[in-house]
């Protein structure tokens, strides 16, 4: 009746933006991501026949905000007639600030609740369930470089390369730790319905996925850097051209981008990516991590820096 799992967030290099089926939360496009090592979310689910309603504690304080989405995830995994549950969540990085906290939360939750309900699910089943809760969560089930593909009526995730087979580093520059104004779920729908660039975004995605997949197979950093930056800027162009426009960047985001450009000019193996928030994620070859971190740390407007390698996928944590 109890399960605990831990999962790390992932950062998409080829982005998921837009849904083909809102009801089932199926993405309009495939995506490729890297799972991080140092940031994590732990989810513990305890079913209790005595409880009248699910309860949620986040970082030791009662917090209902995410409860409806978490309860819906529990229903999908364990059935609507399940006992109510006590959910404990802890997270060592800012929540809802464009750092993919929903990815690690729902990956960990799906694995934890399946265990609490006594179910032994395959990766395919877990991916389908985690993906219904949050598209990016399915990717955090696996470690290293992960591809999420659309199948005829669902999604599937697969590993492209393990974390230690190409140990890139990620320097996350935080420019604003508060929650974002419009969550990605809502923002994606606004883009799909109103952005004149949405259809070309979807049309070009297969090609970007092919390029990134081949670059990862060949450990070709420059090609991966070029396609990841291009794909990220295309996604933000879709957002900017939506009505109302969605601009997640702030002045410090732009300055970080210039820092990355300057480093690239000096021959540093680094590229940027930006999600639905103002933080910059600088992905780099390990030998440049200290230099990238130092340069971003002194970039005006950066309030915090987190440097991490690539890590493993979601897993159960057995209590002693």
Residues that bind ligand DP6 (CB under 6 A): 12, 15-17, 25, 31, 100, 102, 134-136, 184-185, 275-276
Question: String of b and e for 208-232 (b: at least 16 CB within 10 Å)?
Answer: bbebbbebbeeeebeebbebbbebb
Closest distance of CB 260 from ligand DP6, Å: 18
Closest distance of CB 17 from ligand DP6, Å: 6
If the CB atoms of residues 185 and 291 are measured against ligand DP6, the closer one turns out to be 185
Kind of pairing between the strands at 26-27 and 85-91: unpaired
User: Contact at 8 Å (CB) between 108 and 41?
Assistant: yes
If the CB atoms of residues 25 and 57 are measured against ligand DP6, the closer one turns out to be 25
Residue in this structure with the two tokens 């697969």, named with its chain if needed: 158
Closest distance of CB 15 from ligand DP6, Å: 4
Closest distance of CB 273 from ligand DP6, Å: 9
If the CB atoms of residues 100 and 292 are measured against ligand DP6, the closer one turns out to be 100
If the CB atoms of residues 140 and 259 are measured against ligand DP6, the closer one turns out to be 140
CA 186, chain centre distance (Å): 16
Closest distance of CB 136 from ligand DP6, Å: 3
Closest distance of CB 12 from ligand DP6, Å: 3
Cis peptide before 244 (omega within 30 of 0): yes
Closest distance of CB 13 from ligand DP6, Å: 9
If the CB atoms of residues 46 and 104 are measured against ligand DP6, the closer one turns out to be 104
If the CB atoms of residues 135 and 263 are measured against ligand DP6, the closer one turns out to be 135
Closest distance of CB 287 from ligand DP6, Å: 27
Residue in this structure with the two tokens 């975004």, named with its chain if needed: 201
The helix (run of H) or strand (run of E) holding residue 236 is helix 221-240
Q: How far apart are CA 225 and CA 94, in angstroms?
A: 26
Q: How far apart are CA 318 and CA 5, in angstroms?
A: 8
Provide DSSP, 36-100. BSS--EEEEEEE-TT-SS-EEEETTEE--TTHHHHHHHHHHHH-TTSPPEEEEEEESS-TTSSS-
If the CB atoms of residues 46 and 134 are measured against ligand DP6, the closer one turns out to be 134
Does residue 254 sit in helix, strand or coil? helix
Evaluated on CA atoms 174, 175, 179, 182, the torsion sign reads negative
Q: How far apart are CA 283 and CA 226, in angstroms?
A: 12
If the CB atoms of residues 173 and 263 are measured against ligand DP6, the closer one turns out to be 173
């Amino acid at each position: 009746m109890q399960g605990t799992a831990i999962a790390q967030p992932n950062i998409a290099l080829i982005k998921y933006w837009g849904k083909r089926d809102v009801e089932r939360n199926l993405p309009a496009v495939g995506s490729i991501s890297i799972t991080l090592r140092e940031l994590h979310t732990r989810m513990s689910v305890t079913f209790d026949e005595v409880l009248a309603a699910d309860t949620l504690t986040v970082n030791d304080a009662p917090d209902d905000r995410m409860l409806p989405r978490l309860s819906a995830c529990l229903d999908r995994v364990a059935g609507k007639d399940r006992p109510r549950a006590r959910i404990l969540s802890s997270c060592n990085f800012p929540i809802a600030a464009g750092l993919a906290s929903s990815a690690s939360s729902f990956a960990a939750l799906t694995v934890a609740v399946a265990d609490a309900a006594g179910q032994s699910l395959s990766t395919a089943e877990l991916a389908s369930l985690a993906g219904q809760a949050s598209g990016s969560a399915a990717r955090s089930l696996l470690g290293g470089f992960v591809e999420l593909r659309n199948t005829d009526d669902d999604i599937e995730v697969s590993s492209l390369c393990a974390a230690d087979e190409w140990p890139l580093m990620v320097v996350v520059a935080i420019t604003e730790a508060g929650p974002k104004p419009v969550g990605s779920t809502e923002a994606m729908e606004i883009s799909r319905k109103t952005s004149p660039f949405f259809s070309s975004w979807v049309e070009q995605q297969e090609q970007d996925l092919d390029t990134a997949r081949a670059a990862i197979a060949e450990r070709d950093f420059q090609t991966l850097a070029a396609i990841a930056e291009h794909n990220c800027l295309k996604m933000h162009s879709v957002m900017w051209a939506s009505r109302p426009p969605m601009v997640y960047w702030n002045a410090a985001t732009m300055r970080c981008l210039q820092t990355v450009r300057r480093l690239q000019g000096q021959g540093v193996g680094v590229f940027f990516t930006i999600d639905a928030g103002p933080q910059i994620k600088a992905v780099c070859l390990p030998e440049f991590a200290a230099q990238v971190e130092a340069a971003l740390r002194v970039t005006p407007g950066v309030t915090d820096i987190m440097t991490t390698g690539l890590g493993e996928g979601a897993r159960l944590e057995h209590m002693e």
